[in-house]
Amino acid sequence: MNRLANQDELVFSIKDLQREGTKKLSKTVAEYYNEGSMDLLTLNDNTMAFDRVRLRPRVCVDVSEIDTSTKCFGAKVAMPLGFSPAAMHKLAHPEGELATSRAAAKAGCNMILSTWATTHISDVVKEGEGYGNAYGMQLSMVEDWQTNIDVVRNAEKAGCKALFLTVDCAVLGRRLNEYRNGFSLPKHLQFPNLPEGIDPHCSTVYDPRRAYDRSFTWEKVKRLVASTTMQVYLKGILTAEDAILAADCGAHGIVVSNHGGRQLDGAMSTLDALEEIVAAVKGRIQIHLDGGIRRGSDIFKAIALGADHCWVGRIPIWGLAYDGERGVTLGLNLLQEELTLTMALCGCSKLSDITPGHLARLRANGLFAKL
């Protein structure tokens, strides 16, 4: 009675999708996607942070019509959730980023492509033609400035609306699974978004065109913002101080992110960082969030705490591994159903109805209290 129809015989939640998708991956690839740096403290805290926040449902509200849609990068999207940049989708499925793009476009979901993607940005964007969603490109700043600009120009040419500039990767986090498993890009795959002449299979050989820029400063952020027609979002902000500096540098927005727990282990969770940043920015720029989202109610909590939009990176990977494009679609459908249900049971018919008053946070005395 009143229950929605099953979408899959095995997968009823993102937790199920993670389990079933992981089963189809090799140990090396599964640990590359699912794990993070060092002892995985930050990776695990990203998800646990959402459990430290509870919902305060409001009742006897007309929720006969629920609208989860919003706008992001000028595109109307089905819900405040998009696909954040994640490397090497072809490790999960032969169609890789092409299948992810088709699922995103058909669902009205924006997608950001990783510099380390296994498909060229122009081909990814073509898969979404006619659907109205928006695409963006992620950039990991390297020492050679021209290489950075080449990535930017290719993204502009492909029609990208946003550039996600990773700012928490001056050096690579110590990911123990990659050491234990000897992880590397398989010989049959390439990084087509990097300029020609860079050997993607010689990761230990120094090349300024692929070496992360340890001297990346706020002055270089300003220079990059001035170098592109795309909206620039700084991905990897965790403090109010840096959020203010991002706004001062002309960034259109930030992504509150700790790289999915893959960089500095022991860094705070993104949800815990969000409140301070929202209070400091005071609406000057867009505030997006990624890290730890596994349920539609998690999206609701992030919006209630002030996020304008949310992003997920591992969920499309698990969907790809499970069943290609259909698996990615399945993950999106589950999240939208759960978000719709959460909004209905909390008395919210549209996103603007969601407020901090719908949440309670775990306090030091062990009790949950209204925000």
For residue 203, the model assigns a pLDDT of: 67
Annotated binding site for glyoxylate: 32, 175, 259, 262
The 10s digit of each residue's pLDDT in 160-197 is 999 999 999 999 999 999 999 999 999 999 999 998 86
Mean pLDDT of 300-305: 98
When pLDDT is cut at 50, 70 and 90, the band that residue 1 belongs to is: confident
CA pair distance 113, 87, nearest whole angstrom: 8
Question: Which comes out higher in pLDDT, residue 179 or 198?
Answer: 179
pLDDT of 371 > 90? The answer is: no
**If we measure between CA atoms, which residue out of 137, 130, 80, 4 comes closest to residue 312?**
80
For residue 363, the model assigns a pLDDT of: 86
Domain locations in the chain as residue ranges: 14-354
φ and ψ at residue 212, rounded to 5 degrees:
-60, 140
Instruction: Show the DSSP H helices in 52-138 as ranges.
Output: 96-107, 121-126
Mean pLDDT of 203-215: 86
**If we measure between CA atoms, which residue out of 39, 48, 46, 40 comes closest to residue 269?**
46
Q: Catalytic residue numbers? A: 259
For residue 14, the model assigns a pLDDT of: 98
pLDDT-wise least confident of 3-17, 140-154, 186-200, 279-293: 186-200
pLDDT of 202 > 70? The answer is: no
Q: Rounded to whole angstroms, what are the CA distances from 318 to 88, 206, 261, 337?
A: 13, 32, 17, 18
Average pLDDT, the chain: 96
pLDDT of 320 > 70? The answer is: yes
For residue 294, the model assigns a pLDDT of: 98
When pLDDT is cut at 50, 70 and 90, the band that residue 132 belongs to is: very high
For residue 20, the surrounding DSSP H or E stretch is helix 14-23
Mean pLDDT of 267-288: 97
In our burial notation (b when 16+ CB lie closer than 10 A, e otherwise), range 326-344 reads: ebbbbbbebbbebbbebbb
Q: Distance between alpha carbon 220 and the CA centroid of its chain, in Å?
A: 24
Q: In CATH, what class is 14-354?
A: alpha beta
Annotated binding site: 32, 85-87, 114, 138, 166, 175, 235, 257, 259, 262, 290-294, 313-314
pLDDT of 208 > 70? The answer is: yes
Q: Is the dihedral of CA 115, 299, 105, 161 positive or negative?
A: negative
Q: Is the pTM of this model over 0.85?
A: yes
Q: Distance between alpha carbon 160 and the CA centroid of its chain, in Å?
A: 16
Mean pLDDT of 39-44: 98
For residue 70, the model assigns a pLDDT of: 98
Question: Which comes out higher in pLDDT, residue 267 or 4?
Answer: 267
Mean pLDDT of 235-249: 98
Mean pLDDT of 84-99: 98
Count, residues in the chain = 371
CA pair distance 71, 78, nearest whole angstrom: 9
Annotated binding site for FMN: 85-87, 114, 138, 166, 235, 257, 290-294, 313-314
